[in-house]
């Protein structure tokens, strides 16, 4: 019997896109150098959120045994972007694989901005 046949005999387990997006978003926000997730461009300004809606800036595709994740982030000014993004990819991959058992085939990162000061982040979080 293959692994797939064993799972079907016992029943199916399905993990929703929202669950994977939440796990990925929390792992992203815990990564040093990541200031916030980006909600995309709206009326010429990037909506940047952190904490309340951890799925903002996260897009996932979940299959039966694997997933692909796209992240849109804001990086803190002065941090080496390449290193922060590599660590982000590792953190998200490890968290999603450990919590869901899904094989993470790719973690794509798009840096949409740079945060300059903590006060600036607080202002952006208030504007929702």
Length of the chain: 128
Rounded average pLDDT over 120-127: 57
79 secondary structure, DSSP code: S
Instruction: Confirm whether 79 is domain-assigned.
Output: yes
Diameter of the chain measured on Cα atoms: 58
Report the domain count for the chain. 1
Closest CA to 90 of 46, 34, 40: 34
Instruction: Give the Cα separation of 80 and 15 in Å (integer).
Output: 34
For 1-56, the DSSP string reads: --HHHHHHHH------HHHHHHHHHHHHHTSTTEEEEEEEEETTEEEEE-SS-TTT
Name the residue range of residue 84's domain: 15-126
Rounded average pLDDT over 7-15: 76
Query: For position 81, which CATH number holds?
Result: 3.30.70.1350
Coil, helix or strand for 94?
Answer: helix
Q: How confident is the model at residue 44 (pLDDT cuts 50, 70, 90)?
A: very low
Instruction: Confirm whether 4 is domain-assigned.
Output: no
Q: How confident is the model at residue 45 (pLDDT cuts 50, 70, 90)?
A: very low
Instruction: Confirm whether 80 is domain-assigned.
Output: yes
């Amino acid at each position: 019997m293959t692994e797939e046949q064993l799972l079907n005999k016992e029943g199916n387990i399905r993990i929703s896109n929202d669950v994977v997006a939440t796990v990925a978003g929390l792992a992203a926000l815990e990564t040093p150098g990541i200031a916030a997730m980006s909600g995309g461009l709206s009326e010429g300004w990037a909506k940047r959120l952190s904490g309340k809606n951890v799925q903002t800036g996260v897009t996932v595709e979940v299959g039966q045994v694997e997933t692909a994740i796209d992240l849109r982030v804001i990086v803190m000014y002065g941090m080496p972007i390449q290193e922060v993004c590599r660590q982000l990819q590792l953190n998200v991959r490890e968290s999603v694989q450990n919590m869901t058992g899904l094989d993470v085939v790719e973690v794509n990162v798009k840096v949409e901005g740079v945060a300059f000061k903590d006060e600036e982040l607080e202002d952006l979080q208030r504007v929702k």
